[in-house]
Structure 1
Amino acid sequence: MIEVKDIHKSFGDHHILKGVSATFHKGQTSMIIGSSGSGKTVFLKCLLGLFAPEQGDICYDDRYYSKMTLSEKRELRKEIGMVFQGGALFDSETIEDNIKFPLKMFTDQTGEEMKERVNFVLNRVHLENVNDKFPAELSGGMQKRVAIARAIVMNPKYLFCDEPNSGLDPQTAIVIDNLIQEITEEYQMITIINSHDMNSVMEIGEKIIFLKQGLKEWEGSYKTIFKTDNKAVTDFVYCSNLYKKVREVYNKS
């Protein structure tokens, strides 16, 4: 479990996060949503250890980040997988070498062991015979699957995704959503997704946290979001045609 306890984060006089608390459980896909400037990107970077809150703390399975030594923080980093918004693949490296990158950085595996692990995760994301290809030779959806393969190659406890469906068509986005949810359940990871895609939120948002101006304005799930009377939430999500249709169905039930 990840426990976020009353974290505050500022940059100069700009107070971004204002006492946000939350818990995230393994085997569950959690979505962080909010408009631009709400603090969701800063929140995600705090969870990743890229930003240090001035107040409050983040606890990873009973380990408080603020009390960790540099060595312990490095060990924690090995337990984290990250899917970046643009995929962040190395254009000049093959798919196999892209996925090997965390293994080379954090393990002492032999070349053969790394190749075996690469093939395993590529098979898990339903990609075959792409080891020697370069990112530019793959479609956008396939590149995202490679990014997911790289994120899980270390068998992480925690998976963080920043706008994983950015730039994808709706059908491909559904494939990526389903893949992330399947992997989360299969490996019992704690998965936290920063997203503005309401289709994704309503498809796999087992837990949803809505941030507004640095505060946790609302918390629920893809089921309860349909019935909320929180005006800030409905103002944010009601622009989605899918939300309108589903809310009408749920309100009639």
Structure 2
Amino acid sequence: MIEVKDLHKSFGEAHILKGISTNFEKGKTNLIIGQSGSGKTVFLKCLLGLFDYEKGSIAYEGRIISEMKPDEKGNLRAEIGMVFQGSALFDSMTIAENVMFPLRMFTKQSKSEMEDRVDFVLKRVNLPDAHHKMPSEASGGMQKRVAIARAIVNNPKYLFCDEPNSGLDPKTAIVIDNLIQEITDEYQMTTVINSHDMNSVMEIGEKIVFLKDGLKEWEGSKDTIFKTDNKAVTDFVYSSNLFKKVRRMYIEENQ
């Protein structure tokens, strides 16, 4: 579990995060959603330890980031897998080399052990024969699967995904959502996803934190989001005719 208490973050006079408190649960897909400028990206970077914060705390299983020594932060980093927006693969490396990169950084495994682990995770993301391809030879969906393989190659306790469906067609986005959900369940990771995609929310939103203007405006699940009367949430969720129809169907089915 990741526990956040009264988190504040500013840049100069701009107060970006204004006292956010929430928990991200183990074995669940936890989504951070909200409009552009709501503080999602800053919040995610604080969770990752990339940004310092002025007030509050972030604790990983009781370990408070701001109280960690450099070696403790290094150990925590080895427990984290990250799927970046745009995948962020190394263009000069093959797919297998990209996936192996965290093993080279954080482990002392032999080459054969690393190769076996790379084989395993590439099979897990349904890319058993992609080892020698270059990222430029892979589709957007394949690149996202490679990014997921790289993120889980170290058996992380925590998985962070920044807009994992960005740039993908709806069908491929569902495949990526389902893969993240399956891997979260299998590995019992604490998965945190920064997203603006309502399809992802409805597919895999086991825990949802909705931010507005740097505040936690609402939290719940994909089941309870249809029941809320919070106007900021309903305006965000039902900004398209598709989700207005979905809400009507949900209300009719549950009357």
Measured against the shorter chain, the TM-score band is over 0.9
- Cα distance in 2 for residues equivalent to 1:246 and 1:51: 38
2:246 aligned residue: 246
Give the secondary-structure state (helix, strand or coil) at the position aligned to 2:73.
Answer: helix
> Is this contact kept in 2: 1:162–1:195, CA < 8 A?
yes
Matched, 1:125 2:125: yes
Q: How far off its partner does 1:227 sit?
A: 1.5
| 8 Å CA contact 1:226, 1:243 repeated in 2 | no
- Structure 2 stretches lacking a partner, 5+ long: none
The one-letter code sitting in structure 1 at the alignment partner of 2:154 is M
- Select between 18-27 and 232-241 the one with higher mean Cα deviation: 232-241
Q: Is the 1:83–1:148 contact (alpha carbons within 8 Å) kept by the matching residues of 2?
A: yes
Task: Classify the secondary structure of the residue corresponding to 2:89.
Answer: coil
* C-alpha separation in 1, matches of 2:60 and 2:159: 12
Q: Does 1:81 align with 2:75?
A: no
Per-residue CA deviation, residues 124-174 of structure 1 (Å, 9 max, x unaligned), is: 111111111101111110110000000000100000000000000000000
1:146 alignment partner in structure 2: 146
Runs of 4+ more than 3 Å apart: none
Structure 1 residues 192-217: Cα deviation after superposition (integer angstroms, max 9, x where no partner): 00001100011100011100000000
Pairs aligned (count): 253
Partner SS, residue 73 of structure 1: helix
C-alpha RMSD of matched pairs (Å): 0.7
| Whole-angstrom CA distance in 1 between matches of 2:184 and 2:117 | 18
Q: CA deviation at 1:237?
A: 1.6
- Cα distance in 2 for residues equivalent to 1:240 and 1:175: 22
Q: Which residue does the alignment assign to 2:205?
A: 205
Match of 2:225, SS? helix
Secondary structure of the 1:224 match is: coil
Q: CA deviation at 1:110?
A: 1.2
Matched, 1:192 2:189: no
- Aligned 1:89-108 pairs, distance under 5 A: 89-108=89-108
- How far off is 1:246 after superposition? 1.8
Q: TM-score, normalised by structure 2?
A: 0.98
User: Aligned pair 1:25/2:25, yes or no?
Assistant: yes
Unaligned runs of 5+ in 1: none
Instruction: Tell me, yes or no, if structure 1 residue 70 matches structure 2 residue 70.
Output: yes
1:48 pairs with 2:51: no
Overall identity of the aligned pairs, in %: 74
1:240 deviates by 3.0
Q: Identify the residue that residue 219 of structure 1 maps to in structure 2.
A: 219
Distance in 2, Cα, partners of 1:34 & 1:173: 19
Where do residues 165-180 of structure 1 align in structure 2 (5 Å cutoff)? 165-180=165-180
In structure 2, distance between residues paired with 1:180 and 1:91: 24
